[in-house]
Amino acid sequence: MGAEQIRRWESGALAHAVSDPFGQGPLPWLRGSENYFDDTGQVVPWYADLARSTGGGTRTADDVHRQIKGFVSPGAAAPGEAIDFHITVDPPQQFSVDVYRIGHYGGDGAAKITTSPRLSGIVQPPPLAADRTVSCHHWWMSWRLQIPSYWSVGAYVAVLTTADGYRSHIPFTVRHDHPADLLLLLPDITWQAYNLYPEDGRTGASLYHAWDERGRLLGEEDAAVTISFDRPYAGSGLPLHVGHAYDFIRWAERYGYDLAYADARDLHAGRVDPSRYRGLVFPGHDEYWSLPMRRAAERARDSGTSLVFLSANTMYWQVGLAPSASGEPDRLLTCRKRRGPGKSALWREVDRPEQQLLGIQYAGRVPDPRPLVVRNAEHWLWDATGAVEGDEIPGLVAGEADRYFPRTSLPEHDNRILLAHSPYEDSEGATRHQETSLYQAPSGALVFASGTFAWSPALDRPGHTDPRIQRATANLLDRICKRD
């Protein structure tokens, strides 16, 4: 298959049977006036994928030509620390980096924080590949961003732009150890698990896919076992499912919740102390967990810190993290998925089912969005939402769904309740049920699990917001934060 024939969707919605708004997007997380002109002279917002919107535009960089692509190390840092950018530019030319912080910002969805000087771009060496592990750890550093002490913690996106107008993106996180009401944990481990970079029909591999010698996309049994964080994200440079976190962030910052930020690898490495917060929020699809992550979440719950899981299929696979060849920690992610020797497996297959923490666990995919059916409407979570018993909230069961498994043990609890019980048909036409769970641990901590991909998009995704879900989420967080 020639390079010109490679399609750019394989790391996105079609490859993973997940469609927007529960996959990548488009992601209009910046709704302000930042625009550029396409090849016809039409003004287009910079985040648009012109290859899709105009049927032939060339502004979005791709993994075949690598007009501009990059990654950062580390993925999260505190004010006063540095983030190193490793960027390739083909053909060599000047480029710039605009840094945005995700937030409400009067409805814009993000604000530009800084712009780099004009930088000299070079063509970096091709990615290295061994046993389907693809790495760009040998790329030279292109720019070092020293994070000023006055920067706000948060989720950031670097927008890379070449002199001739190609663009790509790199997400990163600014964290701080100051206490806050809520700690938001960005699921960077799960983002990387889905990353098929380079999406070139030859080299790229994720924990789901790889290519054969004829450029055909292979399935999970032929995918990578170990993947590297030392590489760009495929396509536009934004991870699959990244929009879930941004939906929650825009909503939560709009209403003034006191948020700290970190990523999953920070939780894994012990760089954050969950006991400093009233609650931990896992805002999006968070499927891949290491043993230190799970232990940290369980200790947090048992010490009185609440847990909020706003997606489905959470903590499904157990993974390991290892240093890169240069010794930088937590740059290699391994998940064997029942292939060969090793400890990586489904949590439920090593007698640690996820229901023992979440209260529910993964049940399967939802081929077509279905209504979420309200249950126990008298519960305080549904206060002031207007919801009554049996109400149907359209489209809220989507992507993937969790439910209570009666034959699987529950976590120790003082009380528990199911707040939704929603029928849907699986891909075989059989009727299944999604459920939303809340329990209170003996420590007093609340543990909420939405059981659906669609909860966070209902908070602030244009065209998908629902005031009942917004109010229910506020009821939950207000109780955790002890607001009046």
The rounded distance, in Å, linking the Cα atoms of 162 and 210 is 29
Q: Flag whether pLDDT at 469 surpasses 70.
A: yes
For residues 389 and 420, give the distance between their C-alpha atoms in angstroms, rounded to a whole number. Answer: 9
CA dist 276 to 180, 256, 272, 405, Å?
A: 7, 19, 9, 32
Same-domain check for residues 285 and 196? no
Same domain, 171 and 291: no
| Segment 258-303, tens digit of pLDDT | 999 999 999 999 999 999 999 999 999 999 999 999 999 999 999 9
Domain membership of residue 103 (yes or no) is yes
- Is the residue at 237 inside a domain? no
Query: How does the average pLDDT of the chain come out, rounded?
Result: 87
Of 175, 194, 228, at which residue does a domain stop? 228
Together in a domain, 307 and 421: yes
In a shared domain, residues 167 and 299: no
Residues 111 and 203 in one domain: yes
The mean per-residue pLDDT over the stretch 196-208 comes to: 90
Q: Report yes or no: 364 and 401 within 8 Å, Cβ to Cβ.
A: yes
9, 203, 277, 399 from 316: Cα distances, Å: 25, 27, 25, 15
Q: Are residues 210 and 141 in the same domain?
A: yes
Asked whether the beta carbons of 441 and 301 are under 8 A apart, the reply is yes
- Range with the lowest mean pLDDT among 57-66, 202-211, 294-303, 357-366? 57-66
Do 193 and 72 lie in a common domain? yes
Residue 140 has phi, psi (to 5 degrees) of -70, 150
Burial of 80 (0-12, 13-18, 19+ CB in 10 A): exposed
Please, which pLDDT band fits residue 483 given cuts at 50, 70 and 90? low
Closest CA to 85 of 265, 236, 232, 206: 232
On whether residue 473 sits in a domain, the answer given is: yes
Q: Give the 3-state secondary structure of residue 300.
A: helix
Q: Which two tokens stand for residue 107?
A: 């409805």
- Based on the domain organization, do 281 and 159 belong to the same domain? no
- The reply to whether 289 and 165 lie within a common domain is no
Rounded mean pLDDT of 187-203? 92
CA distances from 40 to 31, 71, 186 (A): 22, 31, 38
Q: Which among 212, 228, 244 is the end of a domain?
A: 228
Kindly tell me if the per-residue pLDDT of 52 is higher than 70.
no
119 with 20, same domain?
Answer: yes
Cα first-last separation, the chain: 62
Tell me the C-alpha distance between 272 and 173, whole Å.
13
The predicted structure's pLDDT at residue 218: 86
**Do 81 and 145 touch, CB atoms closer than 8 A?**
no
Could you tell me which residue, 59 or 435, shows the higher pLDDT?
A: 435
Q: Is the pLDDT of residue 109 over 90?
A: no
Does residue 324 lie in a domain region? Answer: no
Q: Give per-residue pLDDT as tens, 391-400.
A: 999 999 999 9
pTM: 0.90
Predicted confidence (pLDDT) per residue in 21-35, tens digit: 344 333 333 334 344
288-290, strands of its sheet edge to edge? 226-228, 332-334, 317-322, 288-290
**133: in domain:** yes
Buried/exposed code over 447-460 (b: 16+ C-beta within 10 A; e: otherwise): bbbbbbbbbbbbbb
Looking at residue 243, its pLDDT comes to: 86
* Claim to verify: residue 289 and residue 161 sit in the same structural domain: no
Considering its fold, how many domains does the chain have in total? 2
Domain that holds residue 219: 3-228
Give the pLDDT score at 341: 65
CATH of the domain at 95: 2.60.40.1930
In-domain check, residue 159 = yes
Task: Say whether both 360 and 476 belong to one domain.
Answer: yes
Any domain includes 55: yes
Confirm whether 217 is domain-assigned.
yes
Q: Of 228, 245, 262, which closes a domain? A: 228
